[in-house]
Structure 1
Amino acid sequence: MSTEESWGPVEPAAPTGASVRRRTLRQASIALGTVAAAAVYLWHTDPHQPGQLLIPCPFKWATGLLCPLCGGTRMAYDLMHGDAVTAFHDNAVLLTLAGPAVAYAVGRWLVAGLAGRVYRPRLSARGNAVVLGIAAVWMVARNLVG
């Protein structure tokens, strides 16, 4: 008879506040370093110019259509260089809706993690439908308008 049969399944221990804080700081440090390195590279690489070493959109490559995220790299470049009007032109929905939503989720995650609590954002079925609906409408609109 195995140990699991005699004692039952082993439940994982709940994370302690200190371990959640350490994990949050480690993950935030890695993310910050990665974003900083990408920002330094992007600062010197103008995505508006052809021939730059940047990852192309696989959806646009395969279909020739703009996906809801197309223009995000150009938008980030323009924001870093203080050109909000051009950033808005590159991807208005990503700038006005997704940017604040991601900032809110990351902020909530950091506050909870540094307080020793685990934060896992959940999106309801209605929330998923809203996000996918906005993405679909934006994709169709920007491909029709050009």
Structure 2
Amino acid sequence: MNTPAPPAPSTGFRLRNLGLPAVSLALLGAATAYVGLVDPRESGHYPPCPYLLLTGLPCPGCGGLRCVHALTHLDLPAALGYNALAVALFPLIGVLWLRWAVRTARARPRRGLADPRPLWALLVVVLLFWIVRDLPFGTALAP
């Protein structure tokens, strides 16, 4: 008795597979638009950073909302002043989203992180940024 083999996964591009990437992009776009419209420099709109409240020192994400607000107004120098690491990471996030969307549209199976070294390198960069921006010679990196 022969049972039919399951169909092979499709390698063609399928728009119907783009639901989750499209929703994530729409949510990110809506959040970015909100930050672009509601200035984070004005108090009362966003919660304060807990790490900053406890230590008086900025965390790696401090200045991120102001950075996004400046970028939505095409003010790159101000965005770099608020959080240079975030400005550097936004293109990487875009590339990773695009890669995810294409893999999802092609119905490719999800892969685990084959090589953890890039993730570890990113963690080291974030930690170094965090430490340096809190040192006296790194005040230019502080928001």
Please indicate, yes or no, whether the TM-score normalized by the shorter chain is above 0.5: yes
Number of positions where the alignment pairs a residue of Structure 1 with one of Structure 2: 131
How has the CA–CA distance of structure 1 residues 44 and 128 changed in structure 2, closer, same or farther, with 3 Å as cutoff?
A: closer
Give the TM-score of the pair, scaled to structure 2: 0.75
Q: Counterpart in 1 of 2:67?
A: 75
Q: Is the 8 A contact 1:109 1:120 kept in 2?
A: no
Q: Distance in 2 between matches of 1:48 and 1:15?
A: 53
Q: Quote the offset at 1:80 in angstroms.
A: 0.4
Counterpart amino acid of 1:136?
A: L
Q: Is the 8 A contact 1:105 1:121 kept in 2?
A: no
> Which structure is richer in relative contact order (CA contacts within 8 A, separation 6 or more)?
2
Counterpart amino acid of 1:116?
A: A
Unaligned runs of 5+ in 1: 1-12
Q: Counterpart in 1 of 2:51?
A: 59
Give the TM-score of the pair, scaled to structure 1: 0.74
Q: Distance in 2 between matches of 1:94 and 1:34?
A: 18
Counterpart amino acid of 1:61?
A: L
Q: Is the 8 A contact 2:60 2:130 kept in 1?
A: yes
Task: Provide the aligned C-alpha RMSD in A.
Answer: 2.8
How has the CA–CA distance of structure 1 residues 123 and 116 changed in structure 2, closer, same or farther, with 3 Å as cutoff?
A: closer
Q: Distance in 2 between matches of 1:23 and 1:69?
A: 35
Matches within 5 A, 1:125-136: 125-136=116-127
Q: Counterpart in 2 of 1:7?
A: none
Does structure 1 residue 105 correspond to structure 2 residue 92? no
Counterpart amino acid of 1:45?
A: V
Q: C-alpha deviations, 1:57-112, integer Å up to 9, x for none? A: 2322332221112111111110000101100111112212x212211111111111
Q: Counterpart in 1 of 2:106?
A: 115
Counterpart amino acid of 1:66?
A: P
